[in-house]
A and B are shown apart, each in its own frame.
Chain A
Amino acid sequence: MKKLLTGNEAIALAVKLCRVDLVAAYPITPQTPIYEKLAQWEAEGVLGGVMVRVESEHSAMATCISAAMTGLRVFTASSSQGIALMHEMLHFAAGNRVPVVMACVNRALAIPWAFGSDQIDTLSQRDTGWIQFYCEDAQEALDTVIEAYRVSESTMLPSMVVIDGFFTSHLMEPVDVPLQEEVDAFLPRPSFPSRFDFQRPAFLSNVVGPKDYFRFRHRQFLDMKTAKRVVAEVDRAFRETFGRGYGVVEQLYTEDADLVLVTSGALTGTARVVVERLRQKGEKVGLLKVKLFRPFPKEEVRQALKGKKKVGVVDRNVSMGCGGIFCEEVKAALYGVDEGPKVANYITGLGGLDVPPELVEAMIEDLEQREVFEEPIWIGAI
């Protein structure tokens, strides 16, 4: 059934459809409509789960983690400062192997204070061990929440479903909403038991020595590797059930392209339009959308980009002293590839700076002419 929904509403609806047991959240722009929508449904008695209105994002994640340990399906959402505040807890959740799903509505991190979309808040958490999905629009956000629960509950690794603040979160679009029965069939009730076992009482997640730490971390690393395969499988199953799928990356006209733009998130939508237009003009350009950021789809990226002449990675984020984070990951994936492309890094869109089609075209033009690829190119407001 199609409904006109904002990205936030779509996420909230997905949470309801997934029959989440417990939501612990704290308000922050631009996530608040998710929180409010769920609270409204709880008040109406239709949510099915319980809302815990905590006093900080750190406590939100803490509550989610321990509730998940009893076998509950849990959810939280945050942005920017809130995600940063719960950083400690993100490591905690991943290391504790609890299947928490969190919606992240990208927003710039202070200082300077800004409210628009910027991927730095979620990308700053890339080392925490969370699976990260970057969604392009409201439909993808809804679908990805459903997939994320299935992925997380089978890998026992938490995942983030990321959308752009305001561009996706607050803009409406038609969204195909699956039926409750369909979602129930795709995503049964959680089957992981409570860890608090009185038959075999144990002190859970207590201090380990270096050897055991190494062992557990290795196991987590391997499980993250497996997670990529699981993501692909779940997405395939989703496609079979609902007729829509996203893969871990999406390639548009990349096979014979000379220039490929690599994007993620909402500006992928803009880039699609530009690439289509240029293709019609006969230009050999292509688009690679990276959806799964963690675990990073190295194979798929190499496959898509090797043999290309030039690649422009568009980053709505920057890692100071380095460059755009997607670009660094792409370059690392391309390391050692024979006939590797030259890679340019376009840093744009920070803090919600608009990236209109003209700007995308300008990036492609620049890429075409570029000879020097050392430094990231800051483009859009300079």
Chain B
Amino acid sequence: MDWSYLSEKFPEEGLRPGHFACPGCGMALAIRLVLKAVGRCIVVAIPGCNAVIGNTFPYSAFHYPAFHSAFEIAAPTAGGISRGLKLKGMGYVPVVAFAGDGGTFDIGLQALSGACDRNEDLIYVCLDNEAYMNTGIQSSSSTPPFAWTMTTPLGRSGVKKRIMEIVAAHRIPYAATASIGFPSDLMEKVKKATEFRGTRFLYILTPCPTGWRMPEHLTIKAALLAVHCKVHPLYEIVEGNYRLNVMPLGLPIRDYLSIQGRYRHLKEDQVEVLQQEIDRDWDRLLRLCQ
């Protein structure tokens, strides 16, 4: 229960204080921890909270060189940079592409697929706050069923696609889920990712107090409960093989839903439906992990 070894193992900070993220922002913490674990790198940021955290001209919250690319092209942008570095013989530096759920699940899915297909050499970090938060909380295809957003005021219908499987189906060398509630697991996975070459995909659930209608101090609690209620299990797919990293406590999904205002309107039968779906997905994951 000691995390102090992480500061020794990863002494650098890649994110600077003074950024404009909301108080309690899960994404800012994720960006901080990812960059801390990667070390010297080039950052690709795209429209969304991640670039806003990066800040506006003439300021930067990134300690490393960064480029503000367009919404759907985090992946090919990073691919172009890493190819450029390689062709110019400039010495290896990891290229980290940050994208939100919108930039990954929706508008960026095609370009991500293309980059995975070409096994572009980059570390793609999907920071999932489950809606288009920066533009004011509109639903994306990563918004979970029944969740409130400004464009799904009665709760979203539809299921959440399994982005990890989509990405793994491209046969990339490394994909992993991570959570800010498990900082050592997250940072170790980032470090592990830096040891591969090719397309590496990190999928981090980043709770958003603003969009999830939660008090600011509960960000990490939500991240922890997401894992322990099996909503966001922690596992890796290494060259196609699934491996579970943390056995969840198996808490009822009610615990996770009850701290979020975006689920306040939920009825009993809807909670039941969600519990069943989560349980089904979990069984499926366990079978894949064998």
Residues of chain A within 8 A of B83, CB atoms compared: 22, 50, 52, 63, 67, 72
Nearest CB in chain A to that of B60: its residue: A203
Q: Is the CB of A63 within 8 A of B76?
A: yes
Give the residue among A50, A71, A206 with the most B Cβ atoms within 10 A: A206
Q: Is the CB of A201 within 8 A of B64?
A: yes
> B215 on the interface (CB 8 Å rule)?
no
Give the residue among A22, A24, A58, A63 with the most B Cβ atoms within 10 A: A63
Interface size for B (C-beta < 8 A) is 43
User: When each residue 224-255 of chain A gets 1 if its CB lies under 8 Å from chain B and 0 otherwise, what string results?
Assistant: 00000000000000000000000000000000
Bound-complex Cα distance A58 to B109 (A): 13
Q: Is the CB of B84 within 8 A of A56?
A: no
Q: Is the CB of A63 within 8 A of B56?
A: no
Residues of chain B within 8 A of A53, CB atoms compared: 118
User: When each residue 103-119 of chain B gets 1 if its CB lies under 8 Å from chain A and 0 otherwise, what string results?
Assistant: 00000001101110110
Q: Is the CB of A66 within 8 A of B77?
A: yes
Give the residue among B45, B56, B113 with the most A Cβ atoms within 10 A: B56
User: When each residue 60-73 of chain B gets 1 if its CB lies under 8 Å from chain A and 0 otherwise, what string results?
Assistant: 11111111111011
> A127 on the interface (CB 8 Å rule)?
no
Give the residue among B45, B68, B113 with the most A Cβ atoms within 10 A: B68
Nearest CB on B from A67, distance (A):
4
> A198 on the interface (CB 8 Å rule)?
yes
Among B3-11, B85-93, B145-153, B158-166, the stretch that binds chain A is B85-93
Residues of chain A within 8 A of B44, CB atoms compared: 66
> A39 on the interface (CB 8 Å rule)?
no
User: When each residue 180-223 of chain A gets 1 if its CB lies under 8 Å from chain B and 0 otherwise, what string results?
Assistant: 00000000000000111110011111111100100000000000
Of the candidates B61, B80, B88, B114, the one whose C-beta lies within 8 Å of that of A56 is B114
Q: Is the CB of B73 within 8 A of A58?
A: yes
Residues of chain A within 8 A of B110, CB atoms compared: 55-56, 59
Nearest CB on B from A379, distance (A):
41
Of the candidates B45, B56, B70, the one whose C-beta lies within 8 Å of that of A208 is B56
Q: Is the CB of B68 within 8 A of A194?
A: no
Residues of chain A within 8 A of B227, CB atoms compared: none
Nearest CB on A from B38, distance (A):
14
Bound-complex Cα distance A377 to B83 (A): 50
> A21 on the interface (CB 8 Å rule)?
yes
Q: A59-B76, A201-B62, A204-B65 are in contact. Are A66 and B84 (CB under 8 A)?
A: yes
List the count of A-B residue pairs having beta carbons below 8 Å apart. 146
Q: A58-B72, A66-B84 are in contact. Are A207 and B63 (CB under 8 A)?
A: no
Q: Is the CB of A67 within 8 A of B60?
A: no
Q: Is the CB of B65 within 8 A of A196?
A: yes
Residues of chain B within 8 A of A24, CB atoms compared: 76, 80
Q: Is the CB of A207 within 8 A of B84?
A: no
Nearest CB on B from A281, distance (A):
56
Nearest CB on A from B137, distance (A):
20
Give the residue among A50, A89, A198, A202 with the most B Cβ atoms within 10 A: A202
> B54 on the interface (CB 8 Å rule)?
yes
Bound-complex Cα distance A201 to B67 (A): 10
Nearest CB in chain B to that of A196: its residue: B65
Q: Is the CB of B67 within 8 A of A204?
A: yes
> B184 on the interface (CB 8 Å rule)?
no
Nearest CB on B from A192, distance (A):
12
Residues of chain A within 8 A of B87, CB atoms compared: 21-22, 50, 70, 72
Q: Is the CB of B72 within 8 A of A205?
A: no
Residues of chain A within 8 A of B66, CB atoms compared: 201-204, 206
> A41 on the interface (CB 8 Å rule)?
no
Q: Is the CB of A203 within 8 A of B80?
A: no
> B40 on the interface (CB 8 Å rule)?
yes
> B49 on the interface (CB 8 Å rule)?
no
Bound-complex Cα distance A197 to B93 (A): 12
Residues of chain B within 8 A of A68, CB atoms compared: 80, 84
Q: Is the CB of B88 within 8 A of A71?
A: yes
Residues of chain A within 8 A of B42, CB atoms compared: 196
Q: Is the CB of B60 within 8 A of A59?
A: no
User: When each residue 6-24 of chain A gets 1 if its CB lies under 8 Å from chain B and 0 otherwise, what string results?
Assistant: 0000000000000001101
Nearest CB on B from A76, distance (A):
11
Bound-complex Cα distance A198 to B12 (A): 14
Q: Is the CB of A201 within 8 A of B60?
A: yes
Q: Is the CB of A209 within 8 A of B111?
A: no
Q: Is the CB of B90 within 8 A of A206?
A: no
Nearest CB in chain A to that of B62: its residue: A203
Give the residue among B57, B59, B63 with the most A Cβ atoms within 10 A: B57
Q: Is the CB of B60 within 8 A of A22?
A: no
Residues of chain B within 8 A of A205, CB atoms compared: 67-68
Bound-complex Cα distance A203 to B59 (A): 7
Q: Is the CB of B70 within 8 A of A89?
A: yes
> B51 on the interface (CB 8 Å rule)?
yes
> A88 on the interface (CB 8 Å rule)?
yes
> A314 on the interface (CB 8 Å rule)?
no
Q: Is the CB of A70 within 8 A of B65?
A: no
Of the candidates B68, B77, B117, the one whose C-beta lies within 8 Å of that of A207 is B68
Of the candidates A65, A194, A207, the one whose C-beta lies within 8 Å of that of B80 is A65
Of the candidates B56, B65, B88, B90, the one whose C-beta lies within 8 Å of that of A202 is B65
Bound-complex Cα distance A65 to B73 (A): 11
Nearest CB in chain A to that of B116: its residue: A55
Q: Is the CB of A55 within 8 A of B56?
A: no
13 interchain pairs, CB-CB under 8 A = A53-B118, A54-B118, A58-B111, A59-B73, A66-B77, A66-B81, A88-B70, A92-B70, A201-B64, A201-B65, A201-B66, A205-B68, A208-B57
In the complex, given contacts A22-B84, A198-B40, A201-B60, what are 17 additional A-B residue pairs having Cβ atoms less than 8 angstroms apart? Answer: A21-B84, A56-B111, A59-B73, A62-B76, A62-B77, A65-B77, A65-B80, A66-B67, A69-B80, A70-B88, A72-B88, A89-B70, A196-B81, A203-B60, A205-B67, A206-B51, A209-B56
Residues of B near any A CB (own CB < 8 A): 40, 42, 44-45, 51-52, 54-57, 59-70, 72-73, 76-81, 83-85, 87-88, 90, 110-111, 113-115, 117-118
- In order of increasing CB-CB distance, the 7 nearest A-B pairs are A70-B84, A55-B114, A66-B80, A203-B60, A67-B80, A62-B73, A196-B65
